[in-house]
Chain A
Amino acid sequence: MNNSIAFKTIVVKEIYRFVRIWPQTLLPPAITTALYFLIFGKLIGDRIGTVSGASYMDYIVPGIILMSVISHAYANVVSSFYSTKFQHNIEELLVAPVPNWVILGGYVGGGIARGLLVGVVVALISLIFSDIAVHNLAITLAIAVLTATVFSLAGFINAVFADSFDDISIIPNFVLTPLNYLGGVFYSVAMLPDVWQKISLANPILYMINAFRYGLIGVSDVDITLAFAITSGFILVMTLFSLFLLHKGIGIKN
């Protein structure tokens, strides 16, 4: 059994899926983020001045890019895997000699691909409004890939437990979006009162956004090493949990 062929088949199928429906997957983030840059960065940002030594526009660009990566990596896996369950074509994979780690890797690979592609689209749009010179390319790429991995895995776990299409929209609407906005996309946590600073530190997205911001413009509210450790820790725990779910067949087998 050649697992690399099975892995490639799942990843290519996933990429083909979101590219085929690009008006639903790639166009909306381009429009939404262009509006963010225009309204928050340009119109309001000009009145705010600088944050941590960077112009407000430059300050929010990394957060908006990573917010798009997070939401689209998550959305890709949760919608694709749940649809696969819903239409019962998950059976194609369960009947075939595809190891669980290949199934997981394939879907997560698709989520990472969409998250990063959307990230690139948003980054290109940001160039219209800002002229950021990348501070550290390795950190920027590494944290983008790791973050996309975390939220692809989260999307996978959500899809495994989902019993209806409502179940795949609850987490993005009521958990991800608030955590994104409270993760320092538009502000520095240093601007918050003490107590809120401490509460914000419990939000993992804060670390990811700040690490990405450090990679792009060299500014961060948190320790970069800690940010990488937290992100990697999430990946490890969620990968093991996802493999456990697949092994037990929870949510996918009768």
Chain B
Amino acid sequence: MNALSLRNLRKTYSNGFQALKGIDLDVEAGDFFALLGPNGAGKSTTIGIISSLINETSGSVSIFGHDLRQDRAKAKSCIGLVPQEVNFNQFETVKNILLNQAGYYGTPRKLALQRTEQCLKQMDLWDKRDTVSRRLSGGMKRRVMIARAMVHAPKLLILDEPTAGVDIEIRRSMWQMMREVNAQGTTIILTTHYLEEAESLCRNIAIINHGQIVEHSDMASLLARLHVDHFVLDLARPLQTTLAIEGYQIEQVGDKTLTVGVPKELGLNQLFNRLSEKNIEVISLKNKTNRLEQLFMDLIEAGPGGRDR
């Protein structure tokens, strides 16, 4: 069963801007799905329509088989939303924020208290339950929003840039929490500008640009389409002459630093053999860009419908 189905979804704002130009999208139940795109591509509009914050111009949204227009209450009951911006009442305590949200979903008080405790403990916020939310750090506020979105046990959790602006340590711990939530059976749709995050967490991906889906596939086959990996090599000694190795795109960026484009059919072993033959010693190697980032840029630059990477 699909957790989410969008059919010919269109949105034209009152100023005439066409944010969505008829997108179709399916997300399977249990998936960890990435919805990516540059700023202004239509991600937030799509999420806004799915979560009823924006009215669509035409098209349909179905959540776990419930049409968002015809069967609104059931469709909405399935969703938990973590928005980009902090949007809870900053004068409310952490516990009350969750209890109120549970109440909006019709959760009886006793169960709401249990779920609140469970979610706050899962997000490592139980000690902060009586703290007024404006006194929390940025990372804690993000976790409050995740806990709030989960308090009614949604089947579909939508995370709109949940780790934006948080430090790497908190981001990593949030990744772990998201993996656990997904492992417990919750479908997750993630939008993020950190493509490393999407590559690390998500199994399937859609890329949206100019209001159209330009890519929709599983992460592994998308990454497999990348023909050339780019690496940065640090050398033990400065190069005396310009280096050229057939089949590889080599660029010298410093006395002892090279960037190398490595075609998949040639691989790294052959490169190292050729470097050894030339008595060039490599002391470290790292990816120049995240693989997904490279594909993302290719797709965006190719424009709508373009796949000419």
Q: Write the residues of chain A forming the contact surface with B, with a CB cutoff of 8 angstroms.
A: 1-3, 5-6, 8-10, 13, 84, 87-89, 91-99, 249, 253-254
CB–CB B103/A8 < 8 A? yes
Task: Establish whether residues A96 and B55, one from each chain, have CB atoms under 8 Å apart when the complex forms.
Answer: no
* Shortest distance between the CB of A254 and any CB in chain B (Å): 5
Does A5 contact B106, Cβ atoms closer than 8 Å? yes
- Nearest A residue to B52 via CB reads A94
Task: Let me know if B77 is at the binding interface, CB within 8 A.
Answer: yes
Contacts of A97 in B (CB 8 A): 72-77, 104-106
Decide if B101 is an interface residue (CB 8 Å cutoff): yes
Within 8 Å CB of A13, what residues of B? 96, 100
Q: What is the distance, in angstroms, from B274's C-beta to the closest C-beta of chain A?
A: 56
Chain A residues near B107: list those with CB within 8 A.
Answer: 5
- Contact of B90 with A by CB under 8 A: yes
Q: Contact between A94 and B53 (Cβ–Cβ < 8 Å)?
A: yes
The docked-state distance in angstroms from the alpha carbon of A6 to that of B87 is: 19
Contact pick for B103, options A9, A88, A91, CB 8 Å? A9
Q: Mark B93-121, 1 if CB is under 8 A from A, else 0.
A: 00010011101111111000000000000
User: A95 contacts which of B79, B88, B103 (Cβ < 8 Å)?
Assistant: B79
A105 to chain B, nearest CB (A): 13
| Contact assessment for B103 and A6 in the assembled complex, using a CB-CB cutoff below 8 Å | yes
- B89/A87 in contact, CB under 8 A: yes
* Interface core residue of B13, B103, B109 (most chain A CB under 10 Å): B103
Closest-CB distance, B91 to chain A (whole angstroms) = 8
B63 CB → nearest A CB, Å: 11
What's the minimum C-beta distance from A44 to chain B, rounded to whole angstroms? 41
CB-CB contacts below 8 Å: B58-83 with A = 72-77, 79, 81, 83
B51 beta carbon closer than 8 Å to chain A? yes
Q: Are A6 and B104 in contact (CB under 8 A)?
A: yes
Q: What A residues does B90 contact at CB under 8 A? A: 87
Shortest CB distance B114–A (Å): 15
* A5 pairs with B108, CB closer than 8 A: yes
Q: Is the CB of B108 within 8 A of A95?
A: no
**Chain A nearest CB: distance from B105 CB in Å?**
5
Closest to B75 in A: A97
| New A-B pairs, 14, CB < 8 Å, besides A9-B100, A97-B106 | A1-B105, A1-B106, A6-B103, A9-B99, A10-B103, A13-B100, A91-B53, A91-B81, A91-B87, A92-B87, A92-B100, A95-B81, A97-B74, A253-B54
- Binary flags per residue of B135-154, CB closer than 8 Å to A gives 1, else 0: 00000000000001000100
Instruction: Report Cα–Cα, A99/B52, bound state, in Å.
Output: 12
CA distance A176 to B99 in the complex (A): 36
Q: Is the CB of A253 within 8 A of B55?
A: yes
If the complex has contacts A9-B103, A97-B73, A99-B73, are A89 and B89 also in contact, measured as CB distance less than 8 A?
yes
